[in-house]
Amino acid sequence: MDHFIYRDSTLHAEDVPVRDIAAAVGTPFYLYSTATLQRHYQVFDQALAGMDHLICYAMKANSNLAVLRVMADMGAGMDVVSVGEYLRARAVGVPGEKIVFSGVGKTAEEMRVALSGGIRQFNVESEPEMQVLNAVASSLGKVAPITIRVNPDVDAKTHAKIATGKSENKFGIPITKARAVYAQAAALAGLEVVGIDVHIGSQLTELAPYEHAFTKVAELTQQLRADGHDIRRLDLGGGLGIPYSRSNITPPLPLEYGEVIRRTVGHLGCEIEIEPGRLIAGNAGLLVTKVIYVKEGEGRNFLILDAAMNDLIRPAMYDAHHDIIPIEEPAPGSTLSPFDIVGPVCESGDTFARQRDLPTVESGDLIAFRSAGAYGAVMASEYNSRPMIPEVLVSHDQFAVVRPRPTYEEMLNRDKLPEWMAQ
């Protein structure tokens, strides 16, 4: 469910007409709904009701400070994968004890910043990382709380580029080595083992891979406790999928996901951590863009937009589908025609959709990409020297620009000529 609906024949974000935002801000822009972000957090919280748990929003999905503040105000922790994300979380008031640091390539400096500022735990991904973290913690006179990320060799049945739980993926240590690696960790004075971490991928549309992975984690928990480790937290990752198309198969609900957690690990008495990102932010956002030209080609017609692959890379990178709708509601029974929907970047890959049926559109019309709140703005670039597009947050009948569009001068001024060229 989201809060983008047609009302009085025009698309609204909560109580604000999208066309009014476009008139004020210019296109293209990202648009987020506070009410949708809040609702999606609440459904996860309800799914784990009665269990000791913490929902750590995976901020790599959308790290705008205003979005993070919405999450923080709901009581969310944060899952970060860089020191930049860590500092963003702290900037919106998230305490260190609610921040989990994930990622395969944490540097010593990143570890130092997080240990100095406060951290709930590091999700350690390799033996070399464990040794570096021990050295950094010891140099600061601290003890770093850790889980170790295990790779359960489970096929998440998702896109190959976002699968993380198979043996050939770069993430975690093989679950078959876990007992030996935990023994190494227990022998290091700068580390405190607090739990186990697992994450098998993103945009999962089936529950069976979770059940398989969590069952393995439950078995490992009992083995590690028998070895003398105090396993009191289970970080089960995130990855639950969203419906990118209203005609596609609907992914499982958070409530069903919660039942899998109860069934597989609920008897262990551990605090449960989950790290949803896409499901919280994805359907809470639109990409709003304007048609520059309607171009007639040989055998097909094109809609050329002012948004491009540098603004939304997912279709080019993952062959991802986004529903595309007009801002002004088509009349019932409107004729649909197929279009290739493309941007202005000089790449054939700058194609959002091929032969997508849409009602009649003209130059200047506004359209929106649904489900664009996750992995949209955070993956954008200035390719072709196109300025980053603004981000807007709506709450009830108000809207605000929460990241402005830079001017061309601001974009150019980030480059510096060397002194010998200054003349």
Active site residues: 346
Residue 135 makes CB contacts below 8 A (sequence gap 6+) with 108, 190
Q: What are the backbone dihedrals phi and psi of residue 48, each rounded to the nearest 5 degrees, phi first? A: -105, 15
C-alpha span between 159 and 319 (Å, rounded): 10
Phi, psi of 344 (to 5 degrees): -90, 0
- Give burial (CB, 10 Å; 0-12/13-18/19+) of 247: exposed
Residue whose C-alpha is closest to residue 233's, from 122, 89, 373, 378: 122
From the list 153, 203, 154, 237, the residue with the least C-alpha distance to 317 is 203
Burial 65-91 (b: 16+ CB within 10 A, else e): ebbbbbbbebebbbbbbbbebbebbbe
Given a contact cutoff of 8 angstroms between Cβ atoms, the answer to whether 272 and 48 are in contact is: yes
The C-alpha atoms of residue 160 and residue 150 are separated, in whole angstroms, by: 19
- Report the DSSP beta bridge partners of residue 69: none
Closest by CA position to 144, among listed 179, 196, 188, 197: 188
Q: Which of 215, 203, 158, 194 is nearest to 58 (CA)?
A: 203
In Å, what is the CA distance from 60 to each residue of 24, 81, 138, 239?
28, 7, 29, 12
- Residues 80 and 136: their CA atoms lie apart, in Å, by 19
Of 294, 291, 309, 314, nearest in space to 366 by CA: 291
Determine the residue type at 145: P
Q: Six-digit token pair at 113?
A: 């910043």
